[in-house]
A and B are shown apart, each in its own frame.
Chain A
Amino acid sequence: MCDSEKLNALKAKQQAWQEKAEAKLAKAPERKKAFTTISEIPVERIYTPADIADQDYEQELAFPGEYPFTRGVQPTMYRGRFWTMRQYAGFASAEESNRRYKYLLEQGQTGLSVAFDLPTQIGYDSDHPLSQGEVGKVGVAIDSLADMETLFDGIPLDKVSTSMTINAPAAILLAMYIGVAEKQGVSSKELNGTIQNDILKEYSSRGTYIFPPLPSLRIITNIFEYCSSEVPKWNTISISGYHIREAGSTAVQEVAFTLANGLAYVEAAQKAGLSVDTIGPRLSFFFNAHLDFLEEIAKYRAARRLWAKLMKERFGAKDPRTMMVRFHTQTAGCSLTAQQPKNNIVRVAYQALSAVLGGTQSLHTNSMDEALSLPTEEAVQVALRTQQIVAYETGVTETVDPLAGSYYIEHLTKTIEEKAMDYIRQIDELGGAAMAIEKGFIQKEIQESAYHYQKAIETGDRVVVGLNKFQVQEPPPRNLLRVDLQVQEMQKQKLIRLRDVRNNEKVQACLAELKKTAQGTENLLPAILEAVRAYATLGEICDTLRSVFGEYTAVSTL
C-alpha cells in the first residue's frame, strides 16, 4: 500500500471510530460541547497521522540547530548545557538588591536579572515629584553610576551574565553597566547580558515609555550599532511577548505581536544602514509560560519556525543565527492567585516544564507570593528549586524536543504559526507594528481578549482552582516583603551628596554635548557613556533627551 492509500484507509477507520464514540455521547456526554485551548483554538477529540500528513519533516521540522529551528536552536540543547536559571530580582536600594543577587548566586542561580523601580524605568531621579511613593517599590532605584557600582559590588562582570529589564532608558543603564565593568577592569567586549530595549511593547502593553516612537527607534538602532562593535556579546534587545500576554493577549496574539515588533526593529535597523545579518544574531526574545501546557509548547516551536521563515524570506538573511529565536521565558504572573498561594508553586512547575519542553534558553520561575507582593527569600528559593528539579530530576532534558512528532503538538504548532501569520499580514497592511499601535489596533485586540478571559472566569466557564472553585477560608498572608518609604529618603540623600562631590561643570558639559548629539544624527551612545562616567544622573540624561525628542502621549483605546 502506498502512503496515500494508507492515509485514506486510516481516515476511513477514524471516521468509523468517531461515529462509534459519538453514539455513546447521548448516554455519557463529554464535559463540554466544544473544547478549546486557553486561547480559544478548537481542540479535537484526537489527532492522528492524518492531521500532519502534509507536513514535510525536513522542511517544517528539520533537525535541532537547523533551519527553520522548530526543534530548537542548538543541536544538543540541554544535553550540552541547561537553560540559564535567571530569577528577576531587585527592590529597594542598590545595597539591598546586591545582597539578594549574592544570595541567588549562592543558591545556584546561573545569571542575574535586574528589576528596576518605576522612576528608573521612566527616567526620573528619586527626588522627582513623579517618583514620590514609587522609589524602590517594584525594583531597585538607580540614579547614577554610583548606585550601579553598589548594585554589582563584589560581582565580577566578566563571569556573570546580566539581563536588565530596561526599555526607554536602556542606553543609559547599559552605559552604566559598561562604566561599572571599566572600574572592575573588565572590557565591554567581554560583557554578557541582555537589555530589554523593546519600546513598542511598552506603548501597547507595559507602559514605561518616555519618548515618541521615532526617536525611540533611533536610540534602539544606535544601541544595535554601538554594541555590534563595542559590546559584541551583548543581546541588544529582548523582543517581549511576555507583557503582551500579561496584558491579556492569547498565545497566538503573543507570537504575532512580538514578531511584528521584531520585524519593525529589523526594518528600522535596515533604514539606519545596518544589515540584517549584522544585528540579527544579537536579537533575543522573551515569552510567557501560561497555563495551557501543550499550547505553550506549540507556541514556542511556532514562534521559532515563523521567525526563521520571516528573516530568510522577507529580509534575505544568510546567517543562521539571524534566523534563530533565542528566548527567555517567565512563568505567567497573571495566572497566579492571591487565594491559596501555595497552589501557585504547582502552576509554576507546569509552566516551567512547558518552557523547557519548548526549548527556552533561560527561565524565570515566579514565586508563589507574587500575586500578593514582592517575593520573600523563601518563596524565591522554592521557585529556583522548581527549575532545578525540572533540570536535574525529571529527565525531560535528556533528548532534544521530545514532543516532536506528537500529532497534536505538530498540528497545534502549525495552527499557531498560521494564525500568527494572519495577524502579521493584518499589521503589515496597517503599515507595520508602530502604526498598528498608533492606531490602537494591537491594544484593542489585547483588551478584548483580556475582557473575554475575565468573563469566562466570572461565569465559571474557566475554572481557576482556589478562586472560583475549591475555595477555602484562609487567614490573610503574613510576612510579606515590603519596601518602606525610607528608601526614598535614602536615595534623596545620596543624590544630594552626589551633586556635592561630583564635578558639576563636567556634568553640564557632557549634557550639553549629549544635547548636540541628539539634535544631530550621530550615534548617541558615546555621549551617553561620557555623561554616565561623569556621574550625570539618569534623570538629567533623560531630561536632556526629553528636551530634544519630546514625550510620548498614549493613544486612548477605551
Chain B
Amino acid sequence: MSTGRKIRILAAKPGLDGHDRGIKVICHALRDAGMEVIYTGLRQTPEQIVSTAVQEDVDVIAMSVLSGAHDYLFPRVMDLVREKGLKDVLVVGGGIIPEEDIPALKSVGISEIFGPGTYTSDIIRYIQDNVQSKS
C-alpha cells in the first residue's frame, strides 16, 4: 500500500446488538495504529452502513455482531456492497461467530472473520496487508 493517505475504516454495528466493547477497543487500536476510523454507533441497517461507506469513501468496512444475526446481516451488507459497486473495499467481520459459519460468509465476499480472543495487533496487520490502495 502506498503512503498516499491514511487507511480509512468504517467500523459498524449492524443489527440490534448492543455489545460494543470489542468494536470500541478495536477503533481505539486502529487509530493508535495511524488509521482513520469512523464508528457508526449501534443499530445500523445494512443500507445505512453501505451508504456511509460510500459517502466516507472508506477502504475497509469492519463489522461486529455478537447476537448471532451475522448469518443474515453480513451477506445482506455484501449484496449492497456489490450493488453499489464498492469493488475495492475490504470487508471484515467479528464477534461471536461459529467456525462452521465462516466458509459461507467468506463465499459471499467477507475477507476475514475475527473471533473472540483475537489480538487487535493481528487485525491491524491483516488490514495493512490486505487493503487496496486508493491513492
Taking Cβ atoms with an 8 Å cutoff, the residues of A that contact B are: 118-119, 121-122, 124, 129-134, 137-138, 202, 206-208, 246-248, 334, 337-339, 371-374, 447, 450-451, 454, 457-458, 464, 467, 476-477, 480, 482-483, 485, 554, 556, 558
Q: Could you mark each residue 35-79 of chain B with 1 if its beta carbon is under 8 Å from any beta carbon of chain A, else 0?
A: 001010111010000000000000000000001110111001000
Q: Separation in Å of the B126 CB from the closest CB of chain A?
A: 15
Q: Quick one: given A132-B72, A138-B68, A371-B116, are A450 and B24 in contact (CB under 8 Å)? A: yes
Taking a contact as CB atoms under 8 Å apart, the answer to whether A119 and B121 are in contact is no
Q: Separation in Å of the A201 CB from the closest CB of chain B?
A: 11
Instruction: Report the nearest B residue to A246, measured CB to CB.
Output: B21
**A118 contacts which of B17, B29, B100, B121 (Cβ < 8 Å)?**
B17
Q: Quick one: given A133-B69, A137-B68, A467-B117, are A122 and B16 in contact (CB under 8 Å)? A: yes
Q: Separation in Å of the B46 CB from the closest CB of chain A?
A: 9
B112 within 8 A of A: no
Taking a contact as CB atoms under 8 Å apart, the answer to whether A338 and B117 are in contact is yes
Complex interface: chain B residues within 8 A of A372 (CB):
96, 98, 116
Instruction: Report the nearest B residue to A475, measured CB to CB.
Output: B99
Complex interface: chain B residues within 8 A of A338 (CB):
115-117
25 of the cross-chain contacts (CB-CB < 8 Å) are: A118-B17, A118-B18, A122-B16, A124-B16, A130-B43, A132-B72, A137-B68, A202-B18, A248-B21, A334-B21, A338-B116, A371-B116, A447-B24, A447-B25, A450-B25, A451-B25, A451-B29, A454-B120, A457-B119, A464-B117, A476-B99, A482-B68, A485-B71, A554-B41, A556-B39
Complex interface: chain A residues within 8 A of B18 (CB):
118, 202, 206-208
With A and B bound together, what is the CA distance between A554 and B28 in angstroms?
19
**A558 contacts which of B24, B71, B119 (Cβ < 8 Å)?**
B24
Complex interface: chain B residues within 8 A of A373 (CB):
68, 96, 98
Taking a contact as CB atoms under 8 Å apart, the answer to whether A554 and B42 are in contact is yes
Complex interface: chain B residues within 8 A of A247 (CB):
20-21
Q: Separation in Å of the A521 CB from the closest CB of chain B?
A: 30
**Would you call the interface of chain A mostly helix, strand, loop, or mixed?**
loop
With A and B bound together, what is the CA distance between A454 and B71 in angstroms?
27
With A and B bound together, what is the CA distance between A467 and B96 in angstroms?
16
Taking a contact as CB atoms under 8 Å apart, the answer to whether A477 and B99 are in contact is yes
Complex interface: chain A residues within 8 A of B73 (CB):
133
Q: Separation in Å of the A242 CB from the closest CB of chain B?
A: 13
Q: Quick one: given A334-B21, A373-B68, are A480 and B116 in contact (CB under 8 Å)? A: no
With A and B bound together, what is the CA distance between A457 and B29 in angstroms?
13
Taking a contact as CB atoms under 8 Å apart, the answer to whether B68 and A337 are in contact is no
Complex interface: chain B residues within 8 A of A207 (CB):
17-20, 42-43
Taking a contact as CB atoms under 8 Å apart, the answer to whether A134 and B116 are in contact is no
19 new A-B contacts, CB < 8 A, other than A450-B24, A467-B117, are: A118-B18, A130-B43, A137-B68, A206-B18, A207-B17, A208-B16, A248-B25, A337-B117, A371-B96, A371-B116, A372-B98, A373-B68, A373-B96, A447-B24, A451-B24, A476-B100, A556-B39, A556-B41, A558-B39
B93 within 8 A of A: no
Q: Quick one: given A130-B43, A133-B72, A337-B117, are A118 and B15 in contact (CB under 8 Å)? A: yes
Q: Separation in Å of the A558 CB from the closest CB of chain B?
A: 5
Q: Separation in Å of the B104 CB from the closest CB of chain A?
A: 13
Q: Quick one: given A371-B96, A373-B96, A554-B42, are A118 and B25 in contact (CB under 8 Å)? A: no
Taking a contact as CB atoms under 8 Å apart, the answer to whether B98 and A482 are in contact is yes
With A and B bound together, what is the CA distance between A247 and B25 in angstroms?
10
Taking a contact as CB atoms under 8 Å apart, the answer to whether A480 and B68 are in contact is no
Q: Separation in Å of the B91 CB from the closest CB of chain A?
A: 17
Complex interface: chain B residues within 8 A of A134 (CB):
15-17, 67, 69, 72
Q: Separation in Å of the A168 CB from the closest CB of chain B?
A: 11
Q: Separation in Å of the A306 CB from the closest CB of chain B?
A: 25
